[in-house]
Structure 1
Amino acid sequence: MASSPIWASRPKTRGLVLDVIRAARSISRVELAAATGLTGATISEVVRELMGDGLVVEAGRGAPTGGKPRTMVQLNPLARYSVGVQLERNTCVVVVVDLAGRQVARTSFQGVAMPPERALPLVAAQVDTLLATAGVERDRVLGVGLVSYGPQDRRAGVLLTPQPTDEWLNYPVTRRLTETLGLPVLLDNDAAAAAVGEYWMGAVDPRSTYGCIYMATGIGGGVVVAGAVYRGSSSNAVEIGHISMDVNGDECPCGNVGCLENYAGPSALVRQALATPGLAQRLGLDPTAADVLTEFARIAAAANAGDTGARGLVERSARYLGHAAVTMACLFDVDAIVLAGPSFAVAGSIYQTMIQQEMDRRMFARRAHPVRIVPSVNGSDAAAIGGAVLVLQSELTLGRPRPDGEARPAPAGAAGLH
């Protein structure tokens, strides 16, 4: 007997219902039917299955509405987990989040500026240790979201850049990490991950279009439309750090000239501080240091404390980023731009104020609507948390394929999560 269309698309139906429950935090079956357009009978059946899988639990009665109080349902956050790994040029952050996207464990370490054959086993060992320390059962882990800088080939699971060493170029990072961990691994851009993490955590209107500027050692960008990351043709979109601020500027390793990152990024500020007479010594900067983030944090701390030299450098960087933010708003007509990443975490107030001023003054559509500049709810770990969220989202959202186009095999104990 032929199945009806609704049951033929059962995984999508389950995903739709589960995502609405996640977004609502707590919701009745009647409200689920209204939100999804599905029949009451379908909602009852899907919710029963989700409860049977342990993904959803009943959460008491709702407020009286003139009749019998409705039974509310919500996610069971402890039912599944995912891991986020944010790989920077010399640092790595690993987080574990539950089904609601809440961070339950975290670790970070330095020293991954080495060939991938040596670095990835270190990353895998840290993931294993963190899961064990947090007491998270492995059969409840959906997978690992590995996020890093671009350019990337997400389908092939490789970085298309020789950073931090030449051996990383075209190295099969997702395949190797999957083999080592025994868990599915998704590769994505750190800025895109940070952007979608805001949606998952309920920090933005789920219907909105918003941007994200992500700043760690470099500068990246992402745009999210109604909960979905704007991908472009190869998932290398919104690389805001490599838009040209000066057509006569110096050549960037990316191939462009006058790139934003070379004027406003943390590495640029460290170079500028080292070249400013007396400033490097006053701030205790180390000209031989490989850890750009630590040196940048010294500059940011001094700027926050009122050092005029350091403040001038940060404000100059913020003005450049303000130009870039206006460009993003003009291209994508966003409602808000989130500032995420470890560099904004240490100097965010200066950047937020100055970028907002530039936006209010110069955005093309400013008379149509404002664009808010806001800090990330996920702080310095926004990319790592976003990486974990991307794994959850690949399981919970409607019709979201894997980057390689194949169906994702469910881990033991997680059958039918779609």
Structure 2
Amino acid sequence: MATSPIWASRSKTRGLVLDVIRAARTISRVELAAATGLTGATISEVVRELMDDDLIIEAGRGAPTGGKPRRLVQLNSVARYSVGVQLERNTCVIVVVDLAGRQVARTSFQGVASMPPQRALPLVSSQVDALLATATVDRDKVLGVGLVTYGPQDRRAGVLLTPQPTDEWLDYPVTRRLADSLGLPVLLDNDAAAAAIGEYWMGAVDPRSTYGCIYMATGIGGGVVVSGEVYRGGSSNGVEIGHISIDVNGDECPCGNVGCLENYAGPSALVRRAAATPGLAQRLALDPDAADFLTEFTRIAAAANAGDPTARELVERSARYLGCAAVTMASLFDVDVIVLAGPSFAVAGSIYQAVIQQEVDRRTFARRAHPVRVVPSVNGSDAAAIGGAVLVLQSELTLGHARPEDEARPVPSGPPRWTI
């Protein structure tokens, strides 16, 4: 497969320096040398190259330290941009972020679930084009598009390995078709993994930590990040926390497992349970057959927040199941933090956070060795879309690691992109 220069391997040194500058916001050359272990001469050379490429700029001088104040550098955030597309079963969220990962534009639309990919992807493409135009972003500065969605998926081939939401999506070349339409490189990834790495990029977690993310939209997913790198496993379909079995005698899940967490704690399960609860469905005007059951879930969560005892009991039951998943994640990966991300945590996140924290405090295997904090995502309901855009940026800011030949690459299309 032909690739554009943007996806070629980068200098480990250059990527490392650029990522340290990103994380520090502003930093001097002396501090860069201390943080990276590189010589002052090497730092001076790399900084000069990055400035020549307009990727970093001078940021004034630091506070006096007994000698001449040190000149500071920072990312030139408007030098490059990336796009994140979260493709959910019912909703699509699109964001544009700058080189620092800050959101500069956003849009969303519904109805994707009712469309085959041949209709849905051109719609996504037109929405991306319109958003970039509205945000007046120079298209030549756009590094690529991070398309994030549910799994299982083949990241290298750029296809979904599931007939969701309809059979036409199974094995459909989503990244190739979207790249051809946009004329931009497209990277496919898991929505939960994307949400997890977005926390690292935005500085919400200790960059040296091991942390997990539970992502809940229409379904439930998970991701784990170790020192800034997503745990990938054998095929990048790991940490599917929504499909761990919590009842070996439970009903069969479409994934092939039985008793999956998602079928007990997910939004659709909560809506079904609420619809079968006498009085609650009538009070909240629930429609259990609604295609967009996230709207129905939001009504239940809002009622729980407002003090409805029946609605709160249902939400807390869901949260206890998710607490079981959080304990499993903590026990398997020995994480320091678990982030709750996704639109389904946006309304009743405080209830979920409190209950999950209780379960983790009480049941985690290593609780006497170190605490595990349960925290909300800094990126809110758009965590996956922002994370998708961040994954494109991270493909360029290589964190000091060479790209393996078998690593999933964004599918390029059109003229060569900017090179970092």
- Per the TM superposition, whether the score is higher than 0.5 is yes
Q: Secondary structure at the match of 1:361?
A: helix
Contact 2:179 2:411 in 1 (8 A): no
Report Cα offsets for 1:153-173 as digits up to 9, x if no partner: 000000000011100000000
1:225-236 correspondence to structure 2 within 5 Å: 225-236=226-237
Aligned to 1:212: 213
Q: Secondary structure at the match of 1:326?
A: helix
Contact 2:187 2:409 in 1 (8 A): no
Q: CA deviation at 1:414?
A: 5.7
Aligned to 2:340: 339
For residues 193 and 67 of structure 2, the distance between their equivalents in structure 1, rounded to whole angstroms, comes to: 45
- In structure 2, relative to structure 1, the CA distance for the partners of 1:411 and 1:199 (3 Å cut) is farther
Q: CA deviation at 1:287?
A: 2.8
- Counterpart of 1:203 in structure 2: which amino acid? A
- Counterpart of 2:205 in structure 1: which amino acid? V
1:371-390 correspondence to structure 2 within 5 Å: 371-390=372-391
1:90 aligns with 2:90: yes
- TM-score (ref. length: structure 1): 0.95
Aligned to 1:416: 419
Report Cα offsets for 1:257-284 as digits up to 9, x if no partner: 1000000000100111111111111001
- Counterpart of 1:110 in structure 2: which amino acid? Q
For residues 299 and 407 of structure 1, the distance between their equivalents in structure 2, rounded to whole angstroms, comes to: 39
For residues 377 and 151 of structure 1, the distance between their equivalents in structure 2, rounded to whole angstroms, comes to: 26
Q: Secondary structure at the match of 1:342?
A: coil
Q: Secondary structure at the match of 1:51?
A: helix
Contact 1:131 1:138 in 2 (8 A): yes
Contact 1:141 1:411 in 2 (8 A): no
Aligned to 1:20: 20
Aligned to 1:45: 45
1:42-191 correspondence to structure 2 within 5 Å: 42-113=42-113, 114-191=115-192
1:300-339 correspondence to structure 2 within 5 Å: 300-339=301-340
Contact 2:180 2:413 in 1 (8 A): no
1:251 aligns with 2:252: yes
- Counterpart of 1:105 in structure 2: which amino acid? A
For residues 228 and 188 of structure 2, the distance between their equivalents in structure 1, rounded to whole angstroms, comes to: 19
- Counterpart of 1:168 in structure 2: which amino acid? W
- In structure 2, relative to structure 1, the CA distance for the partners of 1:144 and 1:197 (3 Å cut) is same
For residues 103 and 344 of structure 1, the distance between their equivalents in structure 2, rounded to whole angstroms, comes to: 20
The answer for unaligned runs of 5 or more in structure 1 is 1-8
- Which region of structure 1 is more displaced relative to structure 2, 43-52 or 366-375? 43-52
- Counterpart of 1:39 in structure 2: which amino acid? T
Q: Which has the higher contact order (CA 8 A, sep 6+)?
A: 2
For residues 116 and 294 of structure 2, the distance between their equivalents in structure 1, rounded to whole angstroms, comes to: 21
Aligned to 2:267: 266
Aligned residues: 409
Aligned to 1:32: 32
Aligned to 2:6: none
Contact 2:193 2:223 in 1 (8 A): yes
Q: CA deviation at 1:405?
A: 5.4
Q: CA deviation at 1:34?
A: 1.2
1:275-314 correspondence to structure 2 within 5 Å: 275-314=276-315
Contact 2:185 2:413 in 1 (8 A): no
Q: CA deviation at 1:289?
A: 1.3
For residues 343 and 395 of structure 1, the distance between their equivalents in structure 2, rounded to whole angstroms, comes to: 31
- In structure 2, relative to structure 1, the CA distance for the partners of 1:101 and 1:411 (3 Å cut) is farther
The answer for unaligned runs of 5 or more in structure 2 is 1-8
- Counterpart of 1:288 in structure 2: which amino acid? D
- In structure 2, relative to structure 1, the CA distance for the partners of 1:297 and 1:354 (3 Å cut) is same
Contact 2:214 2:341 in 1 (8 A): yes
Report Cα offsets for 1:312-345 as digits up to 9, x if no partner: 1100000000011000000000000000000011
- TM-score (ref. length: structure 2): 0.95
- In structure 2, relative to structure 1, the CA distance for the partners of 1:409 and 1:117 (3 Å cut) is closer
- Counterpart of 2:213 in structure 1: which amino acid? C
- Counterpart of 2:385 in structure 1: which amino acid? A
Aligned to 1:392: 393
Report Cα offsets for 1:200-226 as digits up to 9, x if no partner: 000000000000000000000000000
- Which region of structure 1 is more displaced relative to structure 2, 213-222 or 38-47? 38-47
For residues 377 and 292 of structure 2, the distance between their equivalents in structure 1, rounded to whole angstroms, comes to: 23
Aligned to 1:223: 224
Aligned to 2:3: none
Contact 1:401 1:407 in 2 (8 A): no
- In structure 2, relative to structure 1, the CA distance for the partners of 1:134 and 1:406 (3 Å cut) is closer
For residues 210 and 307 of structure 2, the distance between their equivalents in structure 1, rounded to whole angstroms, comes to: 36
Q: CA deviation at 1:63?
A: 1.2
- Counterpart of 1:334 in structure 2: which amino acid? V
Q: Secondary structure at the match of 2:344?
A: helix
Contact 1:142 1:410 in 2 (8 A): no
Q: CA deviation at 1:404?
A: 5.7
Report Cα offsets for 1:57-108 as digits up to 9, x if no partner: 0000011111111000000100000000000001100000000000000000
For residues 281 and 320 of structure 1, the distance between their equivalents in structure 2, rounded to whole angstroms, comes to: 26
Aligned to 1:4: none
For residues 332 and 293 of structure 1, the distance between their equivalents in structure 2, rounded to whole angstroms, comes to: 30
For residues 266 and 202 of structure 1, the distance between their equivalents in structure 2, rounded to whole angstroms, comes to: 29
- In structure 2, relative to structure 1, the CA distance for the partners of 1:72 and 1:414 (3 Å cut) is farther
For residues 59 and 384 of structure 1, the distance between their equivalents in structure 2, rounded to whole angstroms, comes to: 30
Q: Secondary structure at the match of 1:281?
A: helix
Contact 1:11 1:416 in 2 (8 A): no
- Counterpart of 1:153 in structure 2: which amino acid? D
